[in-house]
Chains A and B, each alone.
Chain A
C-alpha cells in the first residue's frame, strides 16, 4: 500500500496528444522525460493508445502505467495523460479545456483540416493550457482570450482568399443549420 499517497505537486500532466483518424500524430507533447524519453517510444505509445481507443469511445483507459483520458471528434482524437495515481477528474478538466478552447478557436469546426489551417493558434493554445506539465489554465475562454487571435480579428486584407471563402462558407452553413 505504500506510495499511494500523491506527492503534492503541480506537475500533473504527463502528456497531451492530438492524433488523426489513422493514429498519426497531429501534435503531441510529453512533459516528463522519465515517460517516453525518445521519439520512438512516444510513437509506439501513441500507436498503442490509438489502437486501444479508436473503436470504443469510452473516455478513459489505463495504458502502460498512465491514466489516459480522451475524446474524439470527426477525424481527430484528443488525449491527456497523467500518472496512474493522478486524480482522473483533474485530467478530465485539462482535456475538456483543450477541446473546448480548440473548438472555440476553430469556431466549432473541429476537424483535421481546420486544425492544420490554424496550427499556429492550436500550438499556442496547447502552450497556454499546460506549461512543462503544470496545468496553467483550465478555463477555455481564458485560454482563447490569451491566444488572442480569433480568425475574425485578422483584418480582411491579411486573410488569404481561401480563408475568406472558407469563413463565408461556414457562415452560410451555420445560418442554414439554424
Chain B
C-alpha cells in the first residue's frame, strides 16, 4: 500500500513546478502585497518565479517591473529564507526590470545591519543594481565590508568589487588598500578573492604586479593557504615570465612555479605542471619534472585527474616528444580507460611520441577497441593516424590497411569523410601509396551510401587514375557506378571517364563507346555531360581536349554572374569577353588554416564552419559597390593587394593602404584611424602626388573621424597608357580639419577647427598590384608554355643576379613574394643547387602571363634566369623590367 502511494506520488513528481504557467504565477505574486507577509505562501511563489526565469522563460519589462515591485514588499518579513530569496530575485530581475535602484536603501540597511546571514547576500544584490555613479554613495560601506571580520561578507564584497570594476573601474581602483588588507585574512576564500581583485586592479602596472608576486612567493611563513589562491599566483607568475621573456632558469618566479610541483594539494601541483608545459620557451630539461608529476597522475583513481594529466602530456608531446616517452607505459595502460576521452587522448599522445617500430603494435591495440568508441572519437583517432602517415611514410601499408578496414565499418558521413580525406592526403603526399590508396577507395565506392563522398572519390579517380601504370583497371569501377547509382554520382562518373579518355589515348575508343552508351541516360545532366565529352573527345584535337576537359577554366562564379547581369542590362552590342572576369581565387589550404583550433580530445557538436568560398576580390567588389562615387568605375575589380601600413603603429593617426586594381583604374583605399581622444577630425582625405602618366580621377574624403573609429578614404587614379610608367611611387599626405574636443564626451569645444596635415609614407605601386594569380597545375602550365608562341605570345627574357641571398629557399620566397603569385610545382634540377619556378598569372585587362624563373646558386648569391611570356608584348617587358 505504502509503495503504491509512493509510486503515485512519484508519477506526480511530487512536483509543484511542473506545468507552471507564467501568467498565473505572476498573478499569484499579488499575494506579496498582503500584510502581514505570509512567508509560507510567498516563498513558494517567489521560488516559482525564479524557477520560470531559470527555465528560460522571458519576462517583458512591465511584467518584470511589476514582479520586482511586488517583491520589494517582502522586505517586511523577517523570515530568513524569504529574505534570501528576495535578494536572489533582485539579482535575477535587476537587468529586466526598471527603476531597480528603489531597493538601494533597504539593501544598504541589510548590508550594514547586524544579521550576518543577510549582509553578504545583500552586498551582492546591491552591487547588481548599482551603476558607476551610485557606487560612490555606497563606497564607504564597500570598503568596510572588504575588511570585515566575517569571511562571507568580505568575500562577497571582494567578488562584487570585481564585477563592478567592469563598469566602474576607477572607483574600485581606490579600494586597493582594503584588498591588500583582506589578502592577510585567515580565510582561504577571502585570500583567493583578494588576490584576484588586487591583480585585476594592478595588472596594467608591471612593477606593482612583480612586487605583489615577489612578496607572496618569497614569503617563508606561507601565509597563502588557499589552493585556489596558489593556482592564481602560478598563473600570474607565468604571465609575468612570459612578458619578461628571456631565460627562465634563473628567475625566482620559475623557481616558485617549480616549487609548487611539490605542494601537498593536487590542484596546485597540477596547475604548476600545466603552467610549466604551457610556458612558451621552456627547455626539455625544465619540463621534465612537470612530466614526472603528470606521470604520477596518470595512475590516479580520479578520472578528472587522469584526464588532466594525459591532456597536458598530449601538449608536451607536441613540443618535447622525447620527454614524454618515459610515460609511454602509463599511457598504454590508459588506452583501455573506461573514460573514452582519456583513452583517445592517450592514443593520440602515443602516436605522436611513438617510434616507427611501435606503430604496428599500437595499431593492433587501437583496432581492438576502435569498434567500441563513438564516431567523434574515431575521427580523433583518424586524425592522429593521418599525422602518423605523414611522419612515417614507409608505414603507409599498415596504416592504409587499417584505414580501409575502418572505412568498411559502420559509421556516419563525417567519420567516413575524415577517413577518405586521410587516404587522399596520403595519396597526394606519398606517391608509393597511390596505387594501394586508389584501390581502397575504388572498393569503398562500390558500397558507399554517402553521395558527396562518392562524388569526391570519383573526381579524384578521374584526376589521378590516368596517371597510374594501369589506368584501365579503374574504368570498370567507374563504369559500374554509371550503371548502379543515382544521377548525381552517374554524372560524376561520366566526367571521370572523360578524364581517362583525354589522358590515355589507347583507352579512347573504349571510353567513346562507354560515353555513347551514357548518352541514353534518363537524367538530363548525365546526358548533357556525356554528349559534351563524347563530342570533344571524338574530335581528337589535343588543344581542345586539354582546355575543355583536362583543365577547364577556373572562373570566379560570383563575378561572372554579376558581369553577365551587367552585360544584359546594358544591352551592349559588344561580345561578352570571358577574360574580363577575374579567375577564381586560388584556395590555398595550408596546414594552419585547415586545422580547427578545437582542442584535442574534445567533441564538438557544432559543425565546422564552411570555408569562406567568396574570394577577397568579390567581397571587396561588393563593399565598393556601397561606397558612393565608386560605382562609376568601368570594369570589374580585378586584384586586391595586401594592406600596407603607411604610418608607424602607435602614432597619432594610423593609416593603412589597400590597392584595388580595375582594368584601367587604380583605387587606393586608405583606412584611417584616429587615436587621439581629444581630437575630432573632419574632412579627412589623403592627397597623393601622382607620378607621371597617372591621373587622379576622384578623391573621396571622410566627413567625420571621431576618436577610436576607423573609416575609409579613397583616391581613384587612372593607369597611364604607357605600361612602363605604372610601376612607381606616390608621395602621400593626410589632410584634415582638427577640432579639439572633450575626451570623455567627444563633443568639440569650438565650432571651427584648423587645417592640419600629416606626412605618410610613400605608396608603392608595383607590378604585383596588377597581376592576379590563377590556379593551374604543373602539366597545364607546361603545355601552355610550349604552345605560347604559337598562340601569339611574346617572350621576354633576362638574367639577374640576386646578391645577398643566403639560400635558394630565401631567393624563391623573395621572388614569389615580390610577384605575389602562386608557384605551381617546384622542380628541383639536380642536387639542390638550382630550382625552377613556374608562375601563371593574369594581368589586369585579362592578359594571360606565364612566368618561369630558373634560380641557381652562384659564387656571390643566387642568379636567376627570368622568362616571361605574355599575349601583350609590353606586359612581358614590363614584368621583366620590374624584377630588375
Contacts and interface: CB of A to CB of B under 8 A. Distances in A.
A113 B14 contact: yes
B85 A28 contact: no
Nearest to B10: A113
Interface string A76-104: 00000000110111111100000000000
A71 to B, nearest CB: 10
B264 to A, nearest CB: 14
Q: Is the interface of A mostly helix, strand, loop or mixed?
A: mixed
B304 A88 contact: yes
Contacts of A134: 159, 162-163, 193, 196
Given A60-B303, A138-B228, A132 B163 contact: yes
Contacts of A158: 39-40
A64 B604 contact: yes
A1 B43 contact: no
Contacts of B587: none
B238 interface: yes
Given A10-B196, A123-B50, A132-B163, A59 B85 contact: no
A170 interface: no
B602 A62 contact: yes
B47 A62 contact: no
Interface string A47-68: 0100010001011111111000
B13 interface: yes
Contacts of A65: 598-599, 602, 604
B192 interface: yes
Contacts of B239: 5, 7-8
A58 B50 CA distance: 32
B354 to A, nearest CB: 21
Contacts of A121: 81
Contact of B81 (A28, A43, A89, A120): A120
B245 interface: no
A116 B318 CA distance: 48
B610 interface: no
Contacts of B852: none
A17 B605 CA distance: 19
A148 B163 CA distance: 25
B210 to A, nearest CB: 14
A17 to B, nearest CB: 10
Contacts of A59: 302-304, 307, 339
Interface residues of B, number: 83
Given A84-B602, A132-B159, A135-B228, A5 B193 contact: no
Contacts of A124: 81, 84-85, 88
A43 B57 CA distance: 12
A133 to B, nearest CB: 9
B267 A5 contact: no
B159 A123 contact: no
A84 B597 CA distance: 11
- Which of B121, B267, B304, B318 gathers most chain A CB within 10 Å? B304
B238 A5 contact: yes
Interface in A111-136: 112-113, 116-117, 119-121, 123-124, 127, 131-132, 134-136
Interface in B209-241: 228, 231-232, 235-236, 238-239
Interface of B: 9-10, 13-17, 39-40, 43-44, 46-47, 50-51, 54-56, 58, 80-81, 84-85, 88, 91, 117, 120-121, 124, 152, 155-156, 159-160, 162-163, 189, 192-193, 196-197, 199-200, 203, 228, 231-232, 235-236, 238-239, 242, 266-267, 270-271, 274-275, 278-280, 302-305, 307-308, 311, 315, 318-319, 338-341, 598-599, 601-606
Nearest 9 A/B pairs, CB to CB: A39-B56, A10-B196, A62-B602, A58-B339, A8-B235, A59-B303, A89-B267, A88-B308, A4-B278
Given A39-B56, A112-B15, 13 more contacts: A4-B278, A5-B279, A6-B278, A10-B162, A88-B270, A89-B271, A116-B13, A131-B163, A134-B162, A146-B117, A148-B80, A148-B84, A148-B117
